[in-house]
Amino acid sequence: MKWIAIQSYYKVERVLSGIEMKTIKEDRSMYLYVNKIVTAHREFAIEDIHDLSFRRMGGDEGLLYLHTQQGVFSYNVHGDPQAFIAMYKELTLSS
């Protein structure tokens, strides 16, 4: 099955080795399908998602929130994910 929309996000991990702390930033992608949203480590059925929202955190960065039956999951994003959110809303309104 082909995805409908894609949204890039990133994971920041801080690793302490000896006396040095390193910040590792890993780029990832979130995919919107007709029946689910898939991230690097999670899969959410469309019927389990209540809403998507975005909060700008300064500059071009912000947090994309997936409001689900399992709770709220946040994802760090560069830029505005409104196109991804709009595709999700269009998909769920037509269902």
- pLDDT digits over 21-31, tens only? 999 999 999 99
Label residue 17 by pLDDT band (50, 70, 90). confident
Domain that holds residue 22: 5-94
Across the range 53-66, mean pLDDT stands at 94
What pTM was computed for the model? 0.89
Res. 95: pLDDT tops 70: no
Q: Which helix (H) or strand (E) holds 52?
A: strand 49-58
Q: What is the mean pLDDT of residues 71-76?
A: 97
CA distance 60 to 19: 32
Which of residues 11 and 18 earns the better pLDDT score?
A: 11
Cα separation of 69 and 56, whole Å? 24
CATH (domain of 86): 2.30.29.30
Spatial separation of the C-alpha atoms in residues 39 and 29, rounded to whole Å:
6
Q: How many domains does the chain have?
A: 1
